[in-house]
Amino acid sequence: MEATKKEHQLIVSVSPHVKTDETTSRIMWSVSLALLPAALAGVYFFGLRALFITALCIVSSAVFEQLYFRMVGKKSAVGDGSAFLTGLLLGMNMPASLWSFSPFTVHVPVIASFVAVVITKQLFGGLGFNVFNPALIGRAFALISWPKAMTIWSEPTAAFLAMDAKTTATPLGILKEEGVVKLLEVFGDKMSLYMHLLTGNRAGSIGETSAIAILIGGLFLLYRGYITWHIPVSFLGTAAVIAWVFGGKGALFTGDPIVHLISGGMMLGAWFMATDYVTSPSVRKGQIIFGIGCGFLTMLIRLKGGYPEGVMFAILIMNCFAPIIDRGVKSKVFGAVKQNTAKENK
Binding interface with other proteins (CB under 8 A):
72, 103-105, 111, 119-120, 122-126, 129, 131-132, 137, 140-141, 144-147, 149, 297, 300-301, 304-307, 310, 312-314, 316-317, 319-321, 323-324, 327
Residues making up the chain, counted from first to last:
346
* C-beta of 43 vs 315, nearer to other proteins: 315
* C-beta of 132 vs 187, nearer to other proteins: 132
- The set of residues, in sequence order, having a beta carbon less than 8 Å from that of 109 and lying 6+ positions away, is 53, 56, 57, 60, 90, 91, 94, 98, 142
Smallest separation, CB 41 to other proteins (Å): 27
* C-beta of 229 vs 307, nearer to other proteins: 307
Smallest separation, CB 120 to other proteins (Å): 7
Smallest separation, CB 204 to other proteins (Å): 18
Query: What does the alpha-carbon distance between residue 31 and residue 81 come to, in Å, rounded to a whole number?
Result: 10
Smallest separation, CB 195 to other proteins (Å): 30
- Dihedral of CA atoms 261, 133, 200, 299 in degrees, nearest 10, equals 20
Query: What does the alpha-carbon distance between residue 124 and residue 118 come to, in Å, rounded to a whole number?
Result: 9
Smallest separation, CB 264 to other proteins (Å): 13
Give the chain's count of helices (H) and strands (E): 15, 2
90 close to 116: Cβ distance less than 8 angstroms = yes
Smallest separation, CB 292 to other proteins (Å): 17
Smallest separation, CB 137 to other proteins (Å): 6
Smallest separation, CB 339 to other proteins (Å): 12
* C-beta of 33 vs 123, nearer to other proteins: 123
**Angle between the N-to-C axes of helices 171-178 and 180-187, in degrees from 0 to 180, rounded to the nearest 10:** 140
105 close to 95: Cβ distance less than 8 angstroms = no
Q: How distant is the alpha carbon of residue 218 from its chain centre?
A: 13
Query: What does the alpha-carbon distance between residue 150 and residue 311 come to, in Å, rounded to a whole number?
Result: 16
Query: What does the alpha-carbon distance between residue 34 and residue 272 come to, in Å, rounded to a whole number?
Result: 9
User: Is the four-CA dihedral 162, 168, 171, 176 of positive or negative sign?
Assistant: positive
* C-beta of 34 vs 140, nearer to other proteins: 140
**Angle between the N-to-C axes of helices 311-345 and 284-304, in degrees from 0 to 180, rounded to the nearest 10:** 140
Give φ, ψ of 202 to 5 degrees. -160, 165
Smallest separation, CB 307 to other proteins (Å): 7
56 close to 109: Cβ distance less than 8 angstroms = yes
273 close to 236: Cβ distance less than 8 angstroms = no
* C-beta of 237 vs 305, nearer to other proteins: 305
* C-beta of 220 vs 313, nearer to other proteins: 313
Give φ, ψ of 164 to 5 degrees. -150, 155
* C-beta of 33 vs 324, nearer to other proteins: 324
* C-beta of 38 vs 231, nearer to other proteins: 231
